[in-house]
Amino acid sequence: MRGIIDILDLSVEELDGIISVACDIIERPEKYAQICRGKKLATLFFEPSTRTRLSFEAAMYELGGNVLSVSSADSSSAAKGESVADTARVVSCYADIIAMRHPKEGAALVAAQNATVPVINAGDGGHCHPTQTLADILTIYREKGRLGNMTVGLCGDLKFGRTVHSLINALSRYEGVKFVLISPEELKLPSYVKNDVLKKKNIPYTQTTDLLEAMPELDILYMTRVQRERFFNEEDYVRLKDSYILTPDKLRTAKQDMIVMHPLPRVNEISVAVDADPRACYFKQVLNGKYMRMALILMLLKEAGTI
Ligand code: NCD
């Protein structure tokens, strides 16, 4: 059964299709309100989450379906030592589709290899997070009217930030995209993304530690949280956590139509004073994520012959 483990598991054409279904859902939600009646989504979240899990669940409810949920590792048989493979086989007996978040890189892939229903990766460790990218892509499309020909600044924890890895993969397939990678030395983009995606595809990029210097050329500024849970020691986290704090003052040299994005949750990286700026799009991303997850669930359930 096909799973969506990496954003590249969706072709550009499929991604276009998901965007157009999501836009149709926004226009005509009533048309979709009963499509998944009697169908069940299982959300298996072995790592903390507010948005992603509730977004998947809201998406399924808005399609008329039902939800089964595990919201922490302690409350499931994972605490007894059950393998991801076994859990996936078991849950396939109860649900028509699975969304899984796990602290280990590759866990969703193992789940997909063992499940008999489609599995969607809702974040696997510091690796990738394809459905956050769906939210990001719809936001860029709705705000900028295009997915190519732009300079995208990615700022913060580029090493452990899985949303950044997936977004780079997705945007690298469009013409005219240039990346500005803004991070402290220790939190630079991993070489598997830099070499296998940017260098291999000849995508223009620059690396800097200086957000202010990069600001004027950006069409998108994608801020990220320093991923505390992936650090080996608290001291390093404390030293790096406030490397970048976006304030209204720092936005003075930004383009008038630049958009500020963040997958959320934010800690300190964007001051709340920025929220009032019309360029702040992070709460729009949240809503767009729900529509894209609805469209993705529909695509996968149709493909599996479930609806
Ligand atoms: C992100 C994640 O879980 O990777 N959150 C989310 O799903 N919106 C980003 C983060 O936790 O920093």
Interval 237-244 mean pLDDT: 95
- Do 141 and 111 sit in the same domain of this protein? no
- Do 154 and 214 sit in the same domain of this protein? yes
- Do 166 and 235 sit in the same domain of this protein? yes
> Known catalytic residues?
51-52, 80, 101, 129
What sections of the chain are H helices per DSSP? Answer: 12-27, 51-62, 84-92, 107-114, 130-144, 162-171, 191-193, 211-214, 234-240, 282-303
Given a cut of 90, is residue 171 above it in pLDDT?
yes
pTM of the model: 0.97
Q: Residues with Cβ < 8 Å from 70, sequence gap 6 or more?
A: 42, 43, 44, 45, 46, 76
Interval 294-298 mean pLDDT: 98
**Residue 203 belongs to a domain with what CATH number?**
3.40.50.1370
- Do 172 and 59 sit in the same domain of this protein? no
Distance from residue 252's CA to the centre of ligand 1 (Å): 27
- Do 137 and 279 sit in the same domain of this protein? yes
Distance from residue 305's CA to the centre of ligand 1 (Å): 31
Q: Which pLDDT score, from 0 to 100, does residue 24 have? A: 98
Distance from residue 122's CA to the centre of ligand 1 (Å): 9
Q: Which pLDDT score, from 0 to 100, does residue 155 have? A: 98
Distance from residue 263's CA to the centre of ligand 1 (Å): 6
Q: Which pLDDT score, from 0 to 100, does residue 77 have? A: 85
Q: Which pLDDT score, from 0 to 100, does residue 232 have? A: 87
Q: Which pLDDT score, from 0 to 100, does residue 84 have? A: 97
**Whether residue 264 has its Cβ less than 6 Å from ligand 1:** yes
Integer distance in angstroms from the first to the last C-alpha of the chain?
15
Q: Which atom of ligand 1 sits closest to the CA of residue 163?
A: 4
Q: What is the pLDDT of residues 247-293, one digit of tens each?
A: 999 999 999 999 999 999 999 999 999 999 999 999 999 999 999 99
| Residue closest by Cα to atom 8 of ligand 1 | 263
**Whether residue 129 has its Cβ less than 6 Å from ligand 1:** yes
Q: Which pLDDT score, from 0 to 100, does residue 236 have? A: 94
What's the number of domains the chain is made of? Answer: 2
- Do 13 and 52 sit in the same domain of this protein? yes
- Do 218 and 252 sit in the same domain of this protein? yes
User: Mean pLDDT score of the chain, rounded to an integer?
Assistant: 97
Question: How does residue 239 score in pLDDT terms, banded at 50, 70 and 90?
Answer: very high
Q: What is the pLDDT of residues 189-235, one digit of tens each?
A: 999 999 999 999 999 999 999 999 999 999 999 999 999 999 989 99
Higher pLDDT, 71 or 43: 43
Q: Which pLDDT score, from 0 to 100, does residue 75 have? A: 81
- Do 39 and 16 sit in the same domain of this protein? yes
- Do 64 and 76 sit in the same domain of this protein? yes
- Do 151 and 188 sit in the same domain of this protein? yes
Which of 147, 219, 140, 224 lies closest to 182 in space, CA to CA? 224
- Do 69 and 99 sit in the same domain of this protein? yes
**Whether residue 123 has its Cβ less than 6 Å from ligand 1:** yes
Q: Which pLDDT score, from 0 to 100, does residue 78 have? A: 84
Question: How does residue 158 score in pLDDT terms, banded at 50, 70 and 90?
Answer: very high
Q: What is the pLDDT of residues 47-106, one digit of tens each?
A: 999 999 999 999 999 999 999 999 888 888 888 889 999 999 999 999 999 999 999 999
- Do 138 and 108 sit in the same domain of this protein? no
Interval 291-302 mean pLDDT: 98
Q: Which domain holds residue 81?
A: 3-128+287-303
Long-range contacts (CB closer than 8 Å, 24 or more residues apart) made by 187-193:
187/156, 187/157, 187/158, 187/159, 187/160, 187/226, 187/240, 187/243, 188/158, 188/159, 189/154, 189/158, 189/159, 189/164, 189/165, 190/159, 190/165, 193/165, 193/168, 193/169
**Whether residue 133 has its Cβ less than 6 Å from ligand 1:** no
